[in-house]
Amino acid sequence: MRFRLAPTPAQEQALLEHCSHARYVWNLAVEQHRHWRPGRAGAPGYAELSRQLTEARRALAWLGAGSQTVQQQALRDFAQALSNFFAGTHRRPTWRKAGVHEGFRIVGQRGKAWDVRRLSRKVGQVWIPKVGWVRFRWSRQVSGIAKSFRVRRDRAGRWHVAFAVIPPPVDGPGTGQVVGIDRGVAVSAALSTGERLSVPGLRATEATRMRRLQRRLARAKRGSNRRARVKAAIARVKARESDRRNDWVEQTSTDLARRFDLIRVEDLRIKNMVRSARGTTAAPGTNVRAKAGLNRSIHAAGWGLLVTRLEQKAPGRVEKVNPAYTSQICHACGHCVAESRESQAVFRCRACGHVDHADVNAAKNIRDIAVGRTVTARGALQPLGGAVNREPQPVLSSG
């Protein structure tokens, strides 16, 4: 649960020092594990890193003046990140950069929750070591007891505090209703019910301002104060876009979890889909600018975040299905041919003449596909992993 912090100027300076201390300690740990591989000796564990931290605090007055709680927690987080990497669930921990990774985490000692108190209906306070009571905007009800929290500063200069509280799952209606969701760029989420939902982006005036600021940034000298001011202005505009996307994801995921008992989505490999098309110097890619624009649109649509929040709010009620041919099959008769999708929005079956919105037609196919099975070019279902006939096929009835 994330809330907006409102530190005073003196508190903000102390928070920035905490961020720099945590980043410094993290980067030192990364440096020591940079060339280490499993099976090799010499990589220090958390105990050794903690001992080195004690020596560094004695040697460096700047580091010793900071909070030992913040710095030791950064080492614990690094040890956990390294364990996740070797377990194959996360990527290898890398460097943290100033201005980008500004934050730190606080964990209660011996399972005790940190002090959080409410001052009024919309104002609360949280105790941060060596900073004191810092106010935040109480914008939602806190469920459960937070035994840890993370303080973070985004690129727009805003401070946030996120309490590690797992909210209860959203209960389904109990009616057995199933919905299919097709994710796209023009339509962020098309439902099998016929609804078409889109992430609210920047308004026309904001998009114009963004382009103007980007042109100013290209002309600004690196390292100049003018460039820093332009970058901050761009970050504020992008923060509005990100906030709107996150708000849309939260509202949409909650609404879907409440309305449907089973939610089926495409099993998309988003990481592979947004890979750069630049290629190498010897073999440069083609349509690089167009692919970069498509990648930005995919990220802006919030594909991965929507499914992640659905899985968290409706655990066990989200199923991922194979997306093969779902956009080419006619939901009315089962005929499958690529030419049936006339454009991004129009689907017109070449066999029966059925007309529907292309994304809604795909969502209906996703809803009706059995989990663990894929769609053949004939419009039928077969076990996942079987051969797929990609040749044009005659018309087959849906029965």
AA identity, residue 197: L
Q: How far is Cα 151 from Cα 104, in angstroms, rounded to an integer?
A: 6
Q: What is the mean pLDDT of the segment spanning 118-132?
A: 91
Q: What is the mean pLDDT of the segment spanning 120-128?
A: 91
Q: What is the mean pLDDT of the segment spanning 136-148?
A: 78
pLDDT of 355 > 70? The answer is yes
204-219 and 225-259 are packed helices; what angle lies between their axes, rounded to 10 degrees? 150
Q: What is the pLDDT of residue 399?
A: 37
Q: What is the pLDDT of residue 280?
A: 66
Prediction pTM value: 0.79
Q: Helix, strand, or coil here: 304?
A: helix
pLDDT of 383 > 70? The answer is no
More confident residue, 41 or 307: 307
Q: What is the mean pLDDT of the segment spanning 93-122?
A: 82
Token representation of residue 226: 């003018």
Q: How far is Cα 67 from Cα 17, in angstroms, rounded to an integer?
A: 9
Query: Is there a contact between 315 and 263 (Cβ–Cβ < 8 Å)?
Result: no
Percent of the chain with pLDDT over 70: 87
Model confidence over 31-72: pLDDT tens digits?
888 766 655 566 778 888 899 899 999 999 999 999 999 999
Label residues 52-63 b or e (16+ Cβ within 10 Å = b).
bbeeebeeeeeb
pLDDT of 276 > 90? The answer is no
Maximum average pLDDT range among 101-115, 232-246, 297-311: 232-246
- Mean pLDDT in the chain? 84
Q: What is the mean pLDDT of the segment spanning 371-390?
A: 43
Model confidence over 83-101: pLDDT tens digits?
898 888 888 899 999 888 8
Model confidence over 327-346: pLDDT tens digits?
889 988 888 988 988 888 89
Q: What is the pLDDT of residue 370?
A: 62
Maximum average pLDDT range among 17-26, 99-108, 367-376: 17-26
pLDDT of 136 > 90? The answer is yes
